[in-house]
Structure 1
């Protein structure tokens, strides 16, 4: 067994064997060796007897792994051996360890899809914010610093509330993983959430003409119609995205949502303008979704790019798709609707007013929605009579 003090000069001067590999060993660290192949490749190894059996453990390729790094790794493995552990078994265990992407897939199938009405939002957040940053990482390598970096990156991009939602999702994933025996710690614990101010943003009178003009000029008809239906119904984003033809009753001018975020069903009155848009979209009796998509869900998933185009054309800042929901409610208030009517039309779940909502029938809600729609379109310069505004032909 040839031994010498490993140096860069000495290692690079090692002769090539005639066949196979030849091994040399370091004088400084027990068991540390370097193998030289016939092609000139060199790899660090650790050669030790463990439980009476010789084990040769590959540490890494030289010069990708430096001499000092190899010595450090070998010393770490020697420490494991001294404590009765087998480094080979530890390495095999690390290879078998789940990545975050694999853990998230387990979480979706075994928990989110079964118990959360918002599972599509979980899936969307993973694709947008977590897949690239954490997806390929082994669970043991994800620590509080890793999570803090994700949270900070989203915050710095200008999405502080979204950063908090993603942090909450991560905490839910790791919390479930602990209960399922897939990991032992939740690295999200201890990371502070961003302070959130309640938004009161909605489309103002002077913004409406620019907004409707920008929507009408949107080349993607699905995005255009999705934005308009979101505004005219005040429904939540996920419900509009997954809107199904079978839930729409054109005769009664109603859209029945069987499951909402609140866990309660909702009947949404459809204004004449909303009906006109929907009737123009229904091209096939076999279609399932109003806004179909090519992904697994079968419907449109992410309208962010189209929304950005509309805002750029309109010159409107700091407006989110969810603000369209608030816009309808605000215009209902402007046109004299009571808080109870607004709450029922937007399906707000409030313990203090739930009983009142339950006693309201749909007619005053419909009148309020139609009145608010008419007021918005009049302010936009699109309507000055009882006629249905042609929103697509501005």
Structure 2
């Protein structure tokens, strides 16, 4: 209907008062809002018919204008391209929505956009992106299933944002209907023997000055607290309450988070120097800065311990496995680890059987011994 408007004509929206489409003497159809600003009639332009402005997207924009026409009239118009591509939408997404996200989330989104989305779909119109297109490229990323799934999650977030901005019709995001790759979660727990080798390697690394004291302290805190790597590297003394044996993180991956400190963790903290002008517990090489990269020291220590396949994050898994095997409940463990979803902690549920299995085995051996005939060895 809009594209068939006669020259010098206007069609008004039947439901949204003040919103219209107008064609003047040429072939262009424009969307406008007629409203009062400071007591005077004003015409506020939305844009020309075509991508990204359709009747639906223009109507959403009109609703925002009518909610605050003064702000809409005085604000500088957003420079929208004639055809809004995925690359264009991503640029606006990071500029406007990015401030609501955590820095590490933005970093991940930008990496997935640069490596996967931009080369494959960057030039495609955001309004025309289809399930078939996305599925085709997702299939092409099969060599990296985990990264492919993460890229798909980012794209879904981008398309949901595009819908909220009126660049796509509501409910048109095709990503949720695309099947993800199955991911085999890698959960590596250190055994008692491996922990002994790691402990020996830490002592030797300290004696031989193989890595810095800050790196050693960071690794020990990861082991004794089950905290995430970034939580330890960015830990400030102002977050630490030694008297209450607690760490209070104002922000983490899942928001505010308390960490209860055991004696071993307290001993590590007590040995750390407090440097004037540096707020961090794990200090870096630069004045006032924290340690940034723990991977290189960790590679040296794990090589000395013969644990080349162990990642720093596996220390967190090991803390959890020891806690559950020692009789700790999953809800309490989830609180210590800072899990926002119970199903995240549920991955350790099978370890809760270990004490029961040990008790059952001991009981069975006692009963078997008692049932032996008299006089038998």
- The answer to whether the 8 A contact 2:233-2:282 is kept is yes
Residue 125 of structure 1, aligned match among 91, 100, 108: 108
Say whether 1:179 aligns with 2:164.
yes
Task: From the superposition, tell whether residues 169 and 245 of structure 1 become closer, same or farther in structure 2 (CA, over 3 Å).
Answer: farther
TM-score scaled by structure 1?
0.49
Q: Which residue of 2 aligns with 1:107?
A: 93
- The answer to whether the 8 A contact 1:177-1:183 is kept is yes
Residue 325 of structure 1, aligned match among 316, 323, 338: 316
Q: How many residues align?
A: 249
1:175: Cα distance to partner? 2.5
Task: From the superposition, tell whether residues 351 and 148 of structure 1 become closer, same or farther in structure 2 (CA, over 3 Å).
Answer: closer
RMSD: 4.2
Distance (Å, rounded) in 2 between the aligned partners of 1:268 and 1:213 = 27
Q: Which residue of 2 aligns with 1:277?
A: 268
Say whether 1:154 aligns with 2:154.
no
Q: Deviations over 1:178-226 (max 9, x none)?
A: 4335678868565432213455531111211232344553525444433
- The answer to whether the 8 A contact 1:202-1:323 is kept is yes
Say whether 1:227 aligns with 2:219.
yes
Q: Deviations over 1:49-98 (max 9, x none)?
A: xx9xxxxxxxxxxxxxxxxxxxxxxxxxxxxxxxxxxxxxxxx958x966
Distance (Å, rounded) in 2 between the aligned partners of 1:223 and 1:302 = 9
Matches within 5 A, 1:1-80: none
Distance (Å, rounded) in 2 between the aligned partners of 1:178 and 1:266 = 33
TM-score scaled by structure 2?
0.51
- The answer to whether the 8 A contact 1:151-1:166 is kept is no
SS at match of 1:202: coil
Matches within 5 A, 1:277-356: 277-291=268-282, 303-316=294-307, 318-349=309-340
- The answer to whether the 8 A contact 1:97-1:139 is kept is no
1:256: Cα distance to partner? 0.8
1:233: Cα distance to partner? 0.9
- The answer to whether the 8 A contact 1:133-1:150 is kept is no
1:277: Cα distance to partner? 3.1
Residue 239 of structure 1, aligned match among 231, 237, 258: 231
Matches within 5 A, 1:372-391: none
Q: Which runs of 5+ in 1 are unaligned?
A: 1-50, 52-91, 353-394
SS at match of 1:212: helix
SS at match of 2:315: helix
Distance (Å, rounded) in 2 between the aligned partners of 1:244 and 1:274 = 15
Say whether 1:139 aligns with 2:122.
yes
